[in-house]
């Protein structure tokens, strides 16, 4: 299991029976593979599907059936199709239980940047702002640092903000944080990761939650 797969598996543990779940592109897409077999969720795709199923075999691809990443999908029994206005009415109206999103940066208050890069022309926003604004719960999945080792959890965003709304949970390869009124609270270390390593690789200040679990305790949960 690589770092991204670990993040996806950990995020999957956040899902509850009956949740309506929207998965972003990247690590979030992997989450579908790790949902526990006794937890039944419904995948929403903002281009107008409730009840997305697994990817089709190459010979069963239907060009009229894609997810929000424009990749071919299938649908499960009980699924429904609707237009984009209805789909975003669902999202904005708070009818999606959980969105799992990728990010470029997270600030000390739990606000994120995930749609544009400074200095580049802004020619795409898609549904990022809608999902972040409207979903009941937001889980962010990301590698803790960039390829260059730069922390993605920063004091202040240097990338354009996606929404003033704070996310609820941040899951990285190194740690899990919850976001409260006063900022980030470290909830868990990943197995084999020390508090010092997380402190060193996290630019933003954070508190250690009362219910904090170290890597060993987290490992025990996986077994």
Partner 1 sequence: MFGSVFYISQMLHPQKSKRGKGKKMSKLITCEEAVKKVTSGSRIMVGGFGLVGSPLSLIAALAQSEVKDLEIISNNLGEPGRGLGVLVRQKQVKKAIGSYFTSNPEVVKAFQDKELEVELLPQGTMSEAIRAGGAGLGGFYTPVSVGTKMAENKEERTLNGKKYVFQEPLKANFALIKAKKADRLGNLIYNQSARNFNPMMATAADVVIAEVDEMVEVGEISSEEIVTPHLYVDFIVVKGGN
Give 68's contacts (C-beta < 8 A, 6+ positions apart): 25, 45, 46, 47, 126, 127
Catalytic residue among 46, 77, 197, 210: 46
Q: How far apart are CA 94 and CA 202, in angstroms?
A: 31
Interface positions, 32-51, toward partner 1 (CB under 8 A): 32-51
Residues 158-217 that bind partner 1 (CB under 8 A): 160-164
Nearer of residues 130 and 188 to partner 1, judged by Cβ: 130
Beta bridge partners of 101: 140
The residues, any chain, with a CB within 8 Å of residue 117's CB and separated by 6 or more, are 104, 159
User: CB of 159: closest distance to partner 1 in angstroms?
Assistant: 11
Structure tokens at 53: 């199923």
User: What CA–CA distance (Å, rounded) separates 189 from 217?
Assistant: 9
Restricting to residues 62-101, which ones interact with partner 1 according to CB under 8 A? 62-67, 70, 75-85, 87-96
Residues 101-160 that bind partner 1 (CB under 8 A): 116, 121-130, 133-134, 160
Dist. CA 168–CA 166, nearest whole Å:
7
Q: Total number of residues binding partner 1 (CB under 8 A)?
A: 75
Q: Which of 7, 12, 100, 189 binds partner 1 (CB under 8 A)?
A: 12
Annotated active-site residue 46? The verdict is yes
Cβ-based neighbour number of residue 101 at 10 Å: 24
Kindly state the smallest distance separating residue 144's Cβ from partner 1, in Å: 24
Our finding on whether 20 is near partner 1 (CB under 8 A) is yes
Nearer Cβ to partner 1 (38/59): 38
Task: Enumerate the active-site residues.
Answer: 46
């Amino acid at each position: 299991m690589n770092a991204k797969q670990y993040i996806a598996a950990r995020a999957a543990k956040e899902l509850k029976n009956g949740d309506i779940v929207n998965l972003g592109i990247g690590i979030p897409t992997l989450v579908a593979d790790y949902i526990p077999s006794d937890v039944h969720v419904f995948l929403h795709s903002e281009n107008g599907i409730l009840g997305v199923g697994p990817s089709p075999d190459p010979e069963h691809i239907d060009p009229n059936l894609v997810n929000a990443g424009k990749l071919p999908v299938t649908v499960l029994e009980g699924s429904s199709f609707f237009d984009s206005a209805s789909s975003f009415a669902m999202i904005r109206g708070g009818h999606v239980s959980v969105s799992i999103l990728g990010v470029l940066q997270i600030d000390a208050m739990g606000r994120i940047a995930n749609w544009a890069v400074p200095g580049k022309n802004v020619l795409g926003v898609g549904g990022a702002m809608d999902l972040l604004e409207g979903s009941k719960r937001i889980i962010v999945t990301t590698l803790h640092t960039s390829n260059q080792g730069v922390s993605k959890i920063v004091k202040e965003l240097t990338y354009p903000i996606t929404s003033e709304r704070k996310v609820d949970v941040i899951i990285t390869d190194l740690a899990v944080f919850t976001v409260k009124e006063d900022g980030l609270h470290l909830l868990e270390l990943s197995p084999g990761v020390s508090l010092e390593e997380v402190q060193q690789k996290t630019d933003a200040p954070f508190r250690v939650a009362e219910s904090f679990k170290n890597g060993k305790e987290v490992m025990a949960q996986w077994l």
